A and B are shown apart, each in its own frame.
Chain A
Amino acid sequence: MKIEVSLYASLASRLPEGCKGNTCTLIVAEGTTIGALLDHLAIAADEPKIVFLNGIHARPDDPLKEGDRVGVFPPIAGG
């Protein structure tokens, strides 16, 4: 199934080769979870990040479905 992944700021370089900009359409297996997707993108479980699924905060065990939009950000909190 197809999903759309956007990686922001310092995480953008983790998108697979061939992707343009910070957003890419990926094909993943049915039943893939957010956590499995992050593993695939080499974003470690203990790496500080915020993950959104269709604009709402997501958990590692949230399952993905066709057409989902995933966004991953580094937490930028300095002042």
Chain B
Amino acid sequence: MAPDIPRYSRHELLRWIGPEGQQRIRRSRVFVAGVGALGCLVSTLLARAGIAFLRIADFDYPEIHNLHRQILYDEEDVGAGLSKPEVAAKRLRAANSEVQIEAVTTAVGADTIEALTDGVDLVVDALDNIRSRYYVNDAILARGIPYVFGGAVEAAGNVMTIIPGKTPCLRCLWPDTEVVGNHPTAARVGVLSSVAMAVAAVEVTEALKILVGREQDTIQGLLVMDFWRNTFQTAAVQQDPKCICRTITR
């Protein structure tokens, strides 16, 4: 029996999406880089939104200290021998069997980034270090694929949407390789679970804007959020004249 109310009706009712936007979402192919705290929620919401194809990649396996914020993994997954992408794919298929899920157990690096970004319309970042993000950044610039960057640590988060050829890139934001090896990590200073979820939610919102063809509505600059001090600001970021994005953008 057909459902009385269509599956995606609550998105189709939105003035910015509508039935046409939902059709665009239904044809979309997305790579989510990393399936930790950010990646769990990003991939969940994108799968439930009904994208056509979702590629998820991570080299890690669920551990007990992940469970407070990595919502696709349960106690039974710890030590069970399945990687994060394998477990996540199982849960995401259960959430929406209409979505083709490709789970890749690998690190995002120089030797994998070409294959991981192949054939997608959008990359959403859920990585936990800057070095891996450079690989994503350089690949999306070369391929002309939009990229939503997000990061969370302690009680702070940031999000920046990168449209090759139109906006600053991640290297405009982080050109200093010294910072690459010297940034606070969740393993060292902690991360509030709700902050990671909030950052992921903003990333999904940016992703959906792009997927429905409303790039003009994305965040202009770097959104910096401090959830403990209750500050939410967008900082202006310009394309750096010396940045590689001035030369390698397709």
Residue positions of A touching B, CB distance < 8 A: 6, 8-10, 12, 21-22, 48-50, 52, 54-57, 69, 71, 73-79
A22: which B residues are within 8 A, CB to CB? 231, 233
Contacts of A6 in B (CB 8 A): 233, 235
**Which residues on the A side are within 8 Å of B127 (C-beta)?**
77, 79
A78 to B152, CA, bound (A): 5
Measured CB to CB, the nearest residue on chain A to B131 is A77
Given contacts A8-B233, A9-B226, A50-B176, 8 further A-B contacts (CB under 8 A): A8-B224, A12-B226, A52-B235, A57-B173, A73-B158, A74-B156, A75-B174, A77-B128
> Looking at the complex, which one of A48, A56, A73, A77 makes contact with B224 (CB distance below 8 Å)?
A73
Is there a chain A Cβ closer than 8 Å to B19's Cβ? no
**Are B158's CB and A76's CB within 8 A?**
yes
Question: What total count of A-B pairs have CB within 8 Å?
Answer: 108
| Number of residues on chain B facing chain A (CB within 8 A) | 46
The answer on a CB contact under 8 Å between A79 and B183 is no
Q: In terms of DSSP, what is the predominant structure of the interface of chain B?
A: mixed
**A57-B184 in contact given A74-B156, A79-B34, A79-B36 (Cβ < 8 Å):** no
In the bound complex, CA of A36 to CA of B226 (Å): 26
* Interface flag for B133 (CB, 8 Å): yes
